[in-house]
Amino acid sequence: SETMVAGTEKPGWYYSQSGAIPYRRANNELQVLLITTRGRKRWIVPKGVIDQGLSARESAAKEAYEEAGARGQMGQREIGEFQYQKWGGTCTVKVFPLDVEEVVDDWPESKVRQRKWVGIEEAIHMVDMPELQEMIRALPETIESEVYA
C-alpha cells in the first residue's frame, strides 16, 4: 500500500522502523555496539525501515547485520521506541536488545559506517536521543528479565 503521509516524501510504511541495541559482556562489563550515521557525524544504534514481510524484530536483526555486522540472539520483547525526523516526516523506531554472538569483519555497510564497542556510561554520552539514552541506561535490568529464542 503506497499510502503517502501528507507532506512527506515516502510511503507511510517507511516511517515505521525498528532497531537493535547490540550488547555483549566483556572485561566484566556490559558493552554496547554503536555505529555512525551514514554521514559519519553521529553515533546511533542499527535501525531501518521494517521490511514488508518481516516482523519489527526480524527486521531489527537484519539491520544489525547490515549496518553493524553483528549477529546473535534477538530479544523477544520491544524495550522502547524513539522518533527522529527523516524524509519530511517522523520515523518511529521500535527497539529490541541483541545479545551479540558474532561480529563479522566485512559487513554490508562497512564502507560507510564505523562501529565501536563502548561501556554503558560512554554509550549514553555518545548517542544524542534521550529515549535511546534511557533504553541504554536500563539495559542491565532489561536483559536480566529478557526472554530469548
Task: Choose, from 58, 66, 131, 134, the residue flagged as catalytic.
Answer: 66
Contact 58, 78 (CB under 8 A): no
Q: Which residues in 37-88 belong to E strands, given as ranges? A: 43-44, 47-49, 70-74, 80-86
Sign, CA torsion 69/38/33/81: negative
How far is it, in rounded angstroms, from Cα 88 to Cα 75?
31
The continuous run of DSSP H or E covering 121 comes out as helix 120-126
* Cell numbers found for residue 132: 535511546
Active-site residue, 66 included: yes
Q: What residues are annotated to the active site?
A: 66
